[in-house]
Structure 1
């Protein structure tokens, strides 16, 4: 009886495998244990792609896609409790940016070609990934590395040489720290509705369940569907088939993140996160802190490189700056910062205009596509008229934006 009562519990295979992994082991795509020392062995996908390339046979796009996926999966570094995968998209900015800036410092014509090519490449890559709805860390890596690299050059080339005082150095350092701290806040939950539904608990009673406080029923295939109860009918546009929940008004589904976000504005590739009701205000602060720090650093550096000239004039014309490589490199870095600052200033301008008219970027795109919005000032202003309550009221609503769903929002669904 005692033996029958004692039942030996069988340990779970997944947890046992994970605990027994050394720092150089990992779980591969097939769910098997693999070792970094054997990362070049048993690569059928890579071998097939190479064989087709050597024999000059036509290769299907999925062959190269599988080879790239396999190579990226095995690109790892030793870490505690198993090797960690490194996203290959973070590497190009670490190599291309310093090489491009040093190349541009050799001659003014090289500077024009290089500094023009960089934005074109970034825009092309953005459209490529955005069209495929792919999530990449290249833009976030480029943004963080640009901040660190420009700050390092500022300290190395300007501050250590004694050209500026502690006041300028402390101001730029504080601006950089505030930018990074605000970036951490923006990277947090933007207002995922799926997470909210799980936290609040989805109850199942008699084939029905409550998702975000609104009752749904399951169809013959087992998928939840909006409940129709007399005059109460959930609008079809508020039902997300992918997340299987009812969205409050002004919410949307992000195809890149794969979640529904409350009051979705857009998916920002520079922070690799959505902008929603939870982090929209911090996103505005992030742009403001960055622009202040960048403009201040550009002005201080230009006053040293082109003494006696206005900062704006010195940015366009600074004679003798290419006589020495150090000054040419600093001037190239200033121009790179100016290009990035102009792009971020444009984003901030669009954000401020949209807030003033109480419209999100997503709503503006949908309204323009459906031709239900007014375009003013060369397309900078897009007024849908759906939520516009006046300039001051719109800003008051934005600054007092509640992170949780209000009763009015939930009542507007039905």
Structure 2
């Protein structure tokens, strides 16, 4: 039980204390807010000001990580080693998800951002496309129209990812928010409820009877309904869904649609590209059976490498397809990933569709209304930290 507690994701809105860290072996607690704040800054590895004048150079230096090296060097070496023999390929491709998950739990437990997963995703996409152009196209089994379709899908995936990285919609800590916080602290409960309801009506143009603004215990700012604090990014996000390690950013109100679009385009392009490669490598086999049985594919290093990359791409595609299905189901029930996590913890939600979705019943207005709300929602805030660092 204790081991499973360590692997659980960080609690959304609870302030981090030095007692929660497992880096040191000591189990001492303290009430010193200054020490907690300093320890929190150290965990997040906030860079110190180096006196650099160029914001672009400062951004590049701040985001150089040693975690990018394994993705750039080890991935092609492991794939080439897996292409030597099918038993070696099974061993390596089975161990890769375990290694990635181990690194994920290590970084997730420390509540820190990392470029490892984003680098792995982009480099995998580029490396698969490179092998497709260099090894598959010269075989003459792929038409120009099919090549154009794969290239278009890859470009759309990159464009959608860039658009997603523009920001999730951070809650601004403006002077208006500070004034509201002071008024809420001074007024009685009845007056504060009326003030908060009026503020919600101003921002959304609607008058929901139960939604209220809340005070973030970490940022100490008032935030709109369904907003949450991301302990990895260190900011409150409007309609926070989750912090996605593959894009190194949160998924919120401002980029949730583009995130879903990125998943859709990538999955469709990957499935289509895998089918083209398997048809070229195993023309006499059906595409579904060719992935499991393709005689003679290990006779040449190039075909063995392409076949191994098909398996690698299939593993990634299955994982992202599961994420896509979960996102579609959550949107259909009008629930975010954060709300589902809180409902599970508080035992307030109902498990639907064999546990694939948690229905809280708080915001759901029916299938069509839920999707209409999702497709028409707009970011009503000014994004915080609008700097070149948002692109990574």
Counterpart in the other structure of 1:216: 181
- Structure (1/2) with the larger strand percentage: 1
Match of 1:90 in 2: 68
- State the alpha-carbon separation in 1 of the partners of residues 353 and 189 from structure 2: 46
> Could you tell me which residue of structure 1 aligns to residue 293 of structure 2?
317
Q: Which runs of 5+ in 2 are unaligned?
A: 1-22, 27-41, 197-211, 382-392
Q: Is the 8 A contact 1:215 1:227 kept in 2?
A: no
State the TM-score, normalized to the length of structure 2: 0.76
Deviation at 1:378, TM superposition (A): 2.3
Q: Which moved more, 1:83-92 or 1:151-160?
A: 83-92
CA distance change for structure 1 residues 122 and 80 in 2, over 3 Å: closer, same or farther? closer
After superposition, give the CA deviation of every residue in 1:21-42 in whole Å (9 maximum; x if it has no partner).
xxxxxxxxxxxxxxxxxxxxxx
- Cα 1:127–1:84 change in 2 (3 A) is closer
In the other structure, the counterpart of 2:208 is none
Residues 180 and 222, structure 2, Cα contact 8 Å, conserved in 1: no
2:369 alignment partner, one of 393, 405, 414: 393
Superposed displacement of residue 129, structure 1: 1.1
Q: Secondary structure at the match of 2:364?
A: coil
Partner of residue 233, structure 1: 192
What residue number does 2:251 align with? 275
Structure 1 residue 182 corresponds to structure 2 residue 160: yes
1:226/1:239 contact within 8 Å kept: no
Contact 2:213-2:224 at 8 Å conserved across structures: no
Alignment gaps of 5+ in structure 1:
1-58, 203-209, 219-224, 406-414
Instruction: Point out the more displaced range, 153-162 or 354-363.
Output: 153-162
Say if 2:124 is the partner of 1:146.
yes
Q: Which residue of 1 aligns with 2:336?
A: 360
Question: Which residue of 1 is the match for residue 169 of structure 2?
Answer: 191
Contact 1:226 1:246 in 2 (8 A): no
SS in structure 1 of the partner of residue 180 of structure 2:
strand
- Name the counterpart of 2:320: 344
Instruction: Pick which of 157-166 and 118-127 moved more.
Output: 157-166
Which residue pairs with 1:14 in the alignment?
Answer: none
Aligned equivalent of 1:334: 310
Partner of 2:380: 404
| Distance change in 2, residues 1:81/1:320 (3 Å) | closer
Deviation (angstroms), 1:173: 0.5
What secondary structure, in the 3-state scheme, does the structure 2 residue paired with 1:193 have? coil
Number of the residue aligned with 2:83: 105
Q: Work out whether residues 326 and 356 of structure 2, in 8 Å CA contact, stay in contact via their aligned partners in 1.
A: yes
Report the CA distance shift for 1:80/1:175 in structure 2 as closer, same or farther (over 3 A).
closer
Q: Give the RMSD, CA atoms, in angstroms.
A: 2.8
Measured after TM superposition, the shift of residue 303 of structure 1 is 0.4
1:162 to 119, 140, 152: 140
Instruction: Supply the distance in 1 between the matched residues of 2:56 and 2:333 (Cα, whole angstroms).
Output: 50
